[in-house]
Structure 1
């Protein structure tokens, strides 16, 4: 059975929403890859410094390396969920076109694929949020440093 032009046009219209989801997922992957790259670069710097440190500084380097390792794991899992989302979206578009060209009723499968893609995107976004929170926690400046810097800044402003 050959589909008519209107069935193909309708299928293309139906596949636009999943394609927008695919574009958004690609953009998210770009952000996640950039964050992962920055964490990896920072880890390399810390690992180079690690053998040269002692005492309190050594403890800070080790703590930051542990935090970086956790961030890398969270980002990696977020990337995994986003890639899985992209794969499911591609499967969804394939299901829509298969339905158009074969006449098979794949509406239920397409609905499940869309729901799964949204769930995977949600997981990826939640992991992204967790990673951002971990990053903020890892770089919080101790209050005594802030107060000392603030005092110096205020004294300079008075001059």
Structure 2
């Protein structure tokens, strides 16, 4: 194998790694968001289990209304993370195809024709994941009630 071919293969396969880095950073941020949603849901559920008196009714209604929103947010984050993992897998395939395509040039195995398919698939998953993430952020923002919270909020 010629060193120039090896260098070219490495150069081609390294470019998508930057997108892979961005995707993994976004997955990490989403994992933190999911943790906060789960923690909030557990706090609300624990409070609802303990406080059953009529004096807690306004806050109870407020918190009962919050749980479906938290569940929807958790689902959106899970969908987003799934799409980002699919993006990462497809980017990994793209990197392998680019790298192995350099070594199989001229042989029966033509990996280069699959590069656009896997890369466009990765970008499609990435765009849909970003749209789901945007929806989750909008939902979280809409759920904010700054200055309108009932007293004794957990």
Aligning the two structures, in what range does the TM-score lie when normalised by the shorter sequence?
A: 0.7 to 0.9
Match of 1:40 among 38, 41, 50: 38
Structure 1: tracts of 5 or more residues without a match:
147-159
In angstroms, what is the RMSD of aligned CA positions?
A: 1.6
Name the count of aligned residue pairs: 142
Cα distance in 2 for partners of 1:33, 1:83 equals: 12
Cα distance in 2 for partners of 1:7, 1:111 equals: 21
* TM, length-normalised to structure 1: 0.83
Residues 1-159 of structure 1: matches in 2 within 5 Å? 3-51=1-49, 52-53=51-52, 54-103=56-105, 104-141=109-146, 145=148
* TM, length-normalised to structure 2: 0.86
Structure 2: tracts of 5 or more residues without a match:
150-154
Cα distance in 2 for partners of 1:102, 1:23 equals: 27
Rg: which structure is higher? 1
1:98, CA displacement in angstroms?
Answer: 1.8
Deviation digits for residues 80-124 of structure 1, max 9, x if unmatched? 000110011111111112211222432220011110111111111
